[in-house]
């Protein structure tokens, strides 16, 4: 019965896509550091951008996922449209790997390849994350070929249902053989399943089972490259102008490429099919290699015109008046689909938060001495961002931790505590500024000797800040001993300053009214030192069990 073959075909598609996702997840986790290195090479060089796009897509097995990730980077403001465009071009090349993989089924290796599923499952029982990730890759690869076998079996001519299904598609495409209609079918089908790799794989299987001619398949493959843009367009909803421009550039790139190839292919379809066949390749490989040729050629043609694609997108999507809004600088929800990259961006966001805390500390030094209320606007504006980052990034990390391995979960644990300590540093900076304002309103100011003592303590805090951020940013654990020594100096200095102030009081050199402000400032600075020690030691102690800050 034909309905049984239809069920087998749909089941095969589902298993195939599941295998792709599993293999992609395993590859992504295994190559997490490799992806970080790839993305750290992003620069204005269009050729390196193409290479990064192709490499990342080859790792995660999805041009849609790469493009969504790029939109996240653009929306976070850490990637320019120029950089994004070259990476999107490379992603289109990287996605052809799946088609090549599918075409290998024509070499009759499916039986052996499916063994990878068993081997992969066995490897997932190991404790090592590295072994588990490799097992996930192998299991996904095996499941891909199981899905391919199911799809191929649906067209088995030895069964009535398989023969009927094959004849159904042959009759259908005998009627629907108009190139533009075939392109539309490819675009709509790919848009529905949101994967050009999966769409190309299904088309390749149908060609191999003679349910679809090579000539018709080429036009459907062209359409699939347009359909894959749907994911990026959906991901750009609710983003900034540049992120939506990146999605538009992705669509424009594929539409232009499809238009160029359609103009050539339409009148010369039989010639192109004959040329592909002259290389002695199976029909499956002919379609797979056409997909490669399409994306590589389109990239070569449009690579010199990136700035014009960007200009076109900027003209279509105008800038809107900017609104005051606190948001992440480096992090975007779309990056959650690539946890290794998301974790890298989280670290940048924490480093940015630390820089804001340092700037507020520097400003508070001026404020505590002068009582200049005009500095408040700067401090409070940064404090809002610090508070937002602490609360929002904590929520983001909770969501991210569900997608990470054991090693990265420890890193996330350390970030929770660093965020809390930095937020407290920001609060202390605000308190120092307010001490200066309150004293000025009361008509008081610190004596020159008190200012010198507080300045000395501030100086040591800034030294500690530099060491703590170096340890966190660069994992420079060798400086932890130096950090601890500086904290001991601050503790000793606190006692020394408190004693010196009491002596000034006894001599009548200072008013008792100044004491609460002085002691509060000294105690606050000592607590800042404790928080900075916590930040530094977080790289060794993700549980935060030895936290000293108050």
Q: Which residue has the higher pLDDT, 451 or 546?
A: 451
pLDDT for res 418? 94
Q: Which two tokens stand for residue 319?
A: 């800038």
pTM of the predicted structure, to 2 decimals:
0.70
In the predicted structure, residue 292 carries a pLDDT above the cut 80: yes
Average predicted confidence (pLDDT) for the chain: 85
Q: What is the pLDDT of residues 254-287, one digit of tens each?
A: 999 999 999 999 999 999 999 988 888 888 889 9
| Residues 134/123, Cβ–Cβ less than 8 Å | yes
pLDDT for res 512? 79
Which of 521, 514, 376 lies closest to 445 in space, CA to CA? 514
Which of 482, 411, 496, 399 lies closest to 449 in space, CA to CA? 496
Q: What is the average pLDDT across 430-449?
A: 88
Q: What is the pLDDT of residues 203-228, one digit of tens each?
A: 888 888 888 899 999 999 999 989 98
In the predicted structure, residue 138 carries a pLDDT above the cut 50: yes
Which of 430, 422, 425 lies closest to 380 in space, CA to CA? 430
pLDDT for res 546? 47
Which of 144, 167, 128, 138 lies closest to 12 in space, CA to CA? 144
pLDDT for res 32? 61
CA distances to 230, 296, 320, 425, 449 from 63, rounded to whole Å, are 12, 14, 29, 42, 64
Alpha-carbon distance of 525 to 507, in angstroms, equals: 26
pLDDT for res 188? 92
What count of other Cβ atoms lies within 10 Å of the Cβ of residue 16? 27
pLDDT for res 332? 84
In the predicted structure, residue 323 carries a pLDDT above the cut 60: no
* 281 φψ region: left (φ > 0), alpha (ψ -120 to 50), beta (else): beta
Alpha-carbon distance of 255 to 250, in angstroms, equals: 9
Q: What is the CA radius of gyration of the chain?
A: 31
In the predicted structure, residue 180 carries a pLDDT above the cut 50: yes
Q: What is the pLDDT of residues 45-57, one digit of tens each?
A: 788 888 888 887 7
Write the burial class of residue 381 (CB in 10 Å: 0-12 exposed, 13-18 middle, 19+ buried): middle
Give the length of the chain: 550
| Residues 67/89, Cβ–Cβ less than 8 Å | no
**Confidence band for 305, pLDDT divided at 50, 70 and 90:** very high
Alpha-carbon distance of 28 to 22, in angstroms, equals: 10
Q: What is the pLDDT of residues 364-392, one digit of tens each?
A: 988 888 888 889 899 999 999 999 999 99
**Confidence band for 1, pLDDT divided at 50, 70 and 90:** low
| Residues 345/78, Cβ–Cβ less than 8 Å | yes
| Residues 399/422, Cβ–Cβ less than 8 Å | no
Per-position DSSP letters for 98-153, written without gaps between them:
HHHHHHGGGGT-HHHHTHHHHHHHHHTTSS-HHHHHHHHHHHHHHHHHHHHHHHHH
| Residues 32/161, Cβ–Cβ less than 8 Å | no
pLDDT for res 550? 47
pLDDT for res 290? 93
Q: Which residue has the tokens 């269009």?
A: 46
Q: What is the pLDDT of residues 75-121, one digit of tens each?
A: 777 678 888 899 889 888 888 887 787 777 666 666 677 788 889 88
In the predicted structure, residue 547 carries a pLDDT above the cut 70: no
Alpha-carbon distance of 445 to 112, in angstroms, equals: 83
- Which sign does the torsion angle of CA 288, 294, 300, 306 carry? negative
Q: Which two tokens stand for residue 271?
A: 């010639």
Domains of the chain (ranges, CATH numbers): 2-157+175-316 (no CATH), 338-537 (1.20.58.220)
pLDDT for res 106? 63
Alpha-carbon distance of 89 to 254, in angstroms, equals: 9
Q: Which two tokens stand for residue 386?
A: 């610090």
CA distances to 64, 308, 484 from 89, rounded to whole Å, are 12, 14, 49
pLDDT for res 34? 63
Q: Which residue has the higher pLDDT, 428 or 514?
A: 428
Q: Which two tokens stand for residue 109?
A: 């290796």
Range picked from 10-14, 58-62, 196-200 for highest mean pLDDT: 10-14
CA distances to 65, 74, 88, 313, 477 from 302, rounded to whole Å, are 22, 21, 12, 15, 47
């Amino acid at each position: 019965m034909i309905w049984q073959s239809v069920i087998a075909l749909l089941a095969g598609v589902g298993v195939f896509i599941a295998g792709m996702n599993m293999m992609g997840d395993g590859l992504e986790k295994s190559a997490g550091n490799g992806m970080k290195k790839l993305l750290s090479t992003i620069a204005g060089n269009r050729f390196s951008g193409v290479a990064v796009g192709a490499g990342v897509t080859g790792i995660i097995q999805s041009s849609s996922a790469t493009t969504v990730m790029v939109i996240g980077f653009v929306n976070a403001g850490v990637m320019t449209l120029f950089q994004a465009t070259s990476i999107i071009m490379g992603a289109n090349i990287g996605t052809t790997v799946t088609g090549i993989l599918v075409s290998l089924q024509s070499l009759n290796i499916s039986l052996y390849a499916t063994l990878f599923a068993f081997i992969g499952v066995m490897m997932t029982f190991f404790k090592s994350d590295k072994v588990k990730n490799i097992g996930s890759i192998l299991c996904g690869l095996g499941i891909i070929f199981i899905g391919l076998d199911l799809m191929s079996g649906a067209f088995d001519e030895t069964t009535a249902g398989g023969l009927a299904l094959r004849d159904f598609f042959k009759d259908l495409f005998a009627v629907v053989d108009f190139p533009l209609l075939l392109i539309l079918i490819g675009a709509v089908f790919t848009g529905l399943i949101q994967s050009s790799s999966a769409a190309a794989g299904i088309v390749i299987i149908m060609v191999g089972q003679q349910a679809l001619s090579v000539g018709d398949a080429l036009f459907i493959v062209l359409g699939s490259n347009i359909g894959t843009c749907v994911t990026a367009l959906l991901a750009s909803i609710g983003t900034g102008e540049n992120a939506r421009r990146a999605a538009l550039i992705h669509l424009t790139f594929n539409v232009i490429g499809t238009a160029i190839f359609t103009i050539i292919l339409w009148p010369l379809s039989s010639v192109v099919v004959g040329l592909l066949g002259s290389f002695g390749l199976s029909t499956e490989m002919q379609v797979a290699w056409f997909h490669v040729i399409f994306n590589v050629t389109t990239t070569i043609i449009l690579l010199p015109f990136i700035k014009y694609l960007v200009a076109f997108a900027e003209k279509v999507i105008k800038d809107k008046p900017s609104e005051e809004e606190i948001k992440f600088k480096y992090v975007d929800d779309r990056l959650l689909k690539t946890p290794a990259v998301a974790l890298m961006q989280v670290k940048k966001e924490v480093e940015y938060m630390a820089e804001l805390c340092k700037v507020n500390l520097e400003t508070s030094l001026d404020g505590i001495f002068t009582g200049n209320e005009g500095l408040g606007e700067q401090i409070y504006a940064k404090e809002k961002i610090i508070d937002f980052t602490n609360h929002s990034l904590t929520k983001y990390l909770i969501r991210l931790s569900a997608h990470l391995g054991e090693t990265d979960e420890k890193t996330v644990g350390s970030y929770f505590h660093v965020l809390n300590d930095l937020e407290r540093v920001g609060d202390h900076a605000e308190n120092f500024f307010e001490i200066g304002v309150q004293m000025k309103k009361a008509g008081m100011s610190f004596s020159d000797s008190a200012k010198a003592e507080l300045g000395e303590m501030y100086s040591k805090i800034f030294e500690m800040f530099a060491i703590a951020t170096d340890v966190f940013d660069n994992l420079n654990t060798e400086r932890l001993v130096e950090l601890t020594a500086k904290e001991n100096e601050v503790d000793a200095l606190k006692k020394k300053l408190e004693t010196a102030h009491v002596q000034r009081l006894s001599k009548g050199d200072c008013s008792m009214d100044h004491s609460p402000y002085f002691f509060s400032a000294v105690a606050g600075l000592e607590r800042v030192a404790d928080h900075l020690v916590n930040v530094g030691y977080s790289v060794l102690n993700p549980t935060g069990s030895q936290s000293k800050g108050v």
